[in-house]
Amino acid sequence: MKSAARLYAVQALFQMEAGDTTLDEVHEQFLDHRFGAEVEEGAFVRGNVNLFETLIFEAVNNQAKIDQMTDRALVAKWPIERIDSTLRALFRAAGAELVVGKTPPKVAISEFVDIAKAFFPDGREAGFVNAVLDHMAHETQPEAFAE
């Protein structure tokens, strides 16, 4: 259920940017039409609503901080504005989870790398996501990496 919540958070953040949708609108849409909804093709996974809400609200409330962290992890010629909007949404959701700090960073990184693989099954994006999130995790939770 937490994996589904992370995926939904990435999709919601993408939708907000691509469709110029507000946080309240996308929040309501996902709760009404995604979490456990029945569709012709079957049912959407229920997902963890609390984690979903934490990720989207924290991503929006801390977007400048998260984007700056992401920029520090990227090479100078590729600021966050130049990367794919799906990856931008993924970095914001993952950054929110790392900032909140309730999930061990290695777990959060692994979960978001899996999401990258789902969106980009044939590309090198998963490795890119892993490297950027590792950098961000070391910045937000250095104590988790201290020996």
User: Does residue 143 have a pLDDT over 80?
Assistant: yes
pLDDT at 47: 77
Look up the CATH number of the domain holding residue 140.
Answer: 1.10.940.10
State the Cα–Cα distance between residues 46 and 35, nearest whole angstrom.
5
pLDDT of residue 105: 93
How much is the average pLDDT of 111-123?
92
pLDDT of 42: 53
pLDDT for the residue 32 = 82
Range of the domain at 26: 2-145
Share of the chain above pLDDT 90, in %: 60
Binned at pLDDT 50, 70 and 90, residue 101 comes out as: confident
- pLDDT, greater one: 46 or 124: 124
Has residue 45 got a pLDDT over 70? no
Q: Compute the distance between CA of residue 42 and CA of residue 86 in angstroms, rounded to an integer.
A: 25
Number of domains present in the structure of the chain? 1
| pLDDT computed for residue 61 by the predictor | 96
Mean pLDDT across 71-91: 85
Q: How far apart are CA 2 and CA 125, in angstroms?
A: 22
Q: Which residues contact 115 (CB under 8 A, 6 or more apart)?
A: 6, 7, 10, 90
Residue that wins the pLDDT comparison between 136 and 44: 136
Q: What is the per-residue pLDDT across 59-80, written as a single tens digit (0 to 9) for each?
A: 999 999 999 999 989 876 677 7
**pTM for the full model?**
0.89
